[in-house]
């Protein structure tokens, strides 16, 4: 049985290899991506067994999603939906410093995930369930699938939640109550500063540490709160105690996927029984690795590669 189970939508990712308006791109690179499966790849590379649940279309793109995740060693329980296509994500680089992602996912196979797609035996054996705030935004049935997964995992299985607010999928007003509900049902929370403000609904809270503390003070708050701050690092509040994550100085070529990498690094060490400093060190290293490579997950490190980061940091210092 897998150590970790996760569920969500994974799409085919088409990205322009050249910089400029997308209509002038002469070709697009073909890959895949999805927040939960990105975390699954990260955890697998760090030595855990991971099960991913989702739906793909009965099309070549769906077979690409399935093959890629299986090829990474993930236990794939994907339903093939003959009534809808695999969703698409298109990544454009208008300037060398900006990445824009557009989704073609409304009505996709992945968005039709439903509670029947969640096998109870898989969850019963798991040591952790990882969910994101994307899945409940996809459809009513996908929201129910997330609820079913939490129920099937049971109170003894920790749940990690990456808020992952997606403005293309729902408004802050629609998202806030759903995300606040999931917040009270998770044990480990990953959020950006903007996502923390969305949950708190308090624009007055200023510093990142105050934000994290305010989250931790909410009724039903998870014991582990991780606030991600991009190139400025991350802070954590674990069992009421604040921590700072180390910051790596790397040459960032593609910011997408850093959050998923960070979650994978943190969760891998948490499941290994490591202390908070070690969890944050591996999380920060995985996040830094992710941004140094084009693609949402391809750059995620294996355990024996983590030390390579010191070389990148050293390069920067020269
Ligand atoms: P995304 O949604 O793009 O995947 P995110 O907004 O969820 O990312 P970030 O805060 O951008 O998450 O990144 C997560 C972590 O990865 C950061 O807290 C940091 O540890 C690391 N990280 C991100 N960007 C950089 C960078 N440019 N240099 C070094 N580390 C980075």
* ipTM here: 0.98
Residue nearest to atom 27 of ligand 1 (CA): 231
The Cβ-side half-sphere exposure at 114, using a 13 Å CA radius, reads 7
Instruction: State whether the beta carbon of 137 lies less than 6 angstroms from ligand 1.
Output: no
Instruction: State whether the beta carbon of 291 lies less than 6 angstroms from ligand 1.
Output: yes
Residue in 239, 260, 296, 316 annotated catalytic:
260
Q: Give the containing element (helix H, strand E) for 224.
A: strand 224-228
User: Over 70: is that where the pLDDT of 314 sits?
Assistant: no
Average pLDDT of the segment spanning 21-47: 97
Residue nearest to atom 11 of ligand 1 (CA): 230
Write the burial class of residue 240 (CB in 10 Å: 0-12 exposed, 13-18 middle, 19+ buried): exposed
- CA distances 17 to 20, 25, 32, 102, 191, Å, are 10, 8, 15, 16, 30
Instruction: State whether the beta carbon of 236 lies less than 6 angstroms from ligand 1.
Output: no
Span 58-104, pLDDT tens digits? 999 999 999 999 999 999 999 999 999 999 999 998 998 888 899 99
3-state secondary structure of 44: helix
Atom number of ligand 1 nearest to Cα 229: 10
Write the burial class of residue 151 (CB in 10 Å: 0-12 exposed, 13-18 middle, 19+ buried): middle
The Cβ-side half-sphere exposure at 291, using a 13 Å CA radius, reads 23
Instruction: State whether the beta carbon of 163 lies less than 6 angstroms from ligand 1.
Output: no
Max distance between CA atoms of the chain, in angstroms, equals 56
Distance 283 CA to ligand 1 centre (A): 10
- Give the rounded percent of residues in the chain with a pLDDT score beyond 90: 88
121 flagged as catalytic: no
Write the burial class of residue 252 (CB in 10 Å: 0-12 exposed, 13-18 middle, 19+ buried): middle
Instruction: State whether the beta carbon of 257 lies less than 6 angstroms from ligand 1.
Output: yes
pLDDT tier at 318 (50, 70, 90 boundaries)? Answer: very low
Lowest-pLDDT range of 12-21, 38-47, 247-256: 247-256
Q: Domains plus CATH for the chain?
A: 4-317 (3.40.1190.20)
């Amino acid at each position: 049985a897998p150590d970790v189970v996760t569920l969500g939508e994974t799409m085919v990712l088409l990205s322009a290899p050249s910089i400029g308006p997308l209509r002038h791109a002469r070709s697009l690179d073909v890959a895949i991506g999805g927040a939960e499966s990105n975390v699954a790849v990260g955890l697998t590379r760090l030595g855990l067994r991971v099960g991913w649940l989702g739906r793909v279309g009965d099309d070549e793109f769906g077979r690409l999603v399935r093959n890629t995740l299986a090829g990474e060693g993930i236990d794939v329980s994907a339903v093939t939906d003959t009534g809808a296509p695999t969703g698409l994500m298109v990544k454009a680089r208008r300037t060398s410093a900006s990445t824009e992602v557009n989704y073609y996912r409304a009505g996709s196979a992945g968005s039709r995930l439903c509670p029947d797609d969640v096998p109870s035996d898989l969850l019963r054996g798991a040591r952790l369930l990882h969910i994101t705030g994307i899945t409940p935004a996809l459809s009513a049935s996908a929201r129910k699938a997330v609820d079913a997964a939490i129920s099937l995992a049971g109170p003894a299985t920790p749940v990690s939640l990456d808020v992952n607010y997606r403005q293309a999928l729902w408004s802050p007003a629609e998202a806030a109550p759903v995300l606040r509900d999931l917040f009270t049902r998770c044990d480990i929370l990953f959020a950006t500063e903007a996502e923390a403000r969305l949950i708190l609904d308090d624009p007055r809270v200023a510093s990142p540490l105050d934000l994290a503390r305010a989250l931790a003070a909410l009724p039903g708050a998870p014991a582990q709160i991780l606030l991600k701050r991009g190139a400025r690092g991350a802070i954590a509040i674990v069992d009421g105690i604040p921590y700072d994550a180390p910051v790596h100085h790397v040459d960032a070529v593609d910011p997408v996927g850093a959050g998923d990498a960070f979650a994978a690094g943190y969760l891998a060490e948490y499941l290994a029984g490591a202390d908070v400093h070690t969890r944050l060190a591996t999380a920060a290293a995985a996040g830094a690795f992710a941004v140094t490579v084009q693609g949402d997950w391809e750059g995620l490190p294996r355990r024996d590669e983590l030390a390579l980061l010191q070389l990148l940091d050293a390069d920067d210092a020269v």
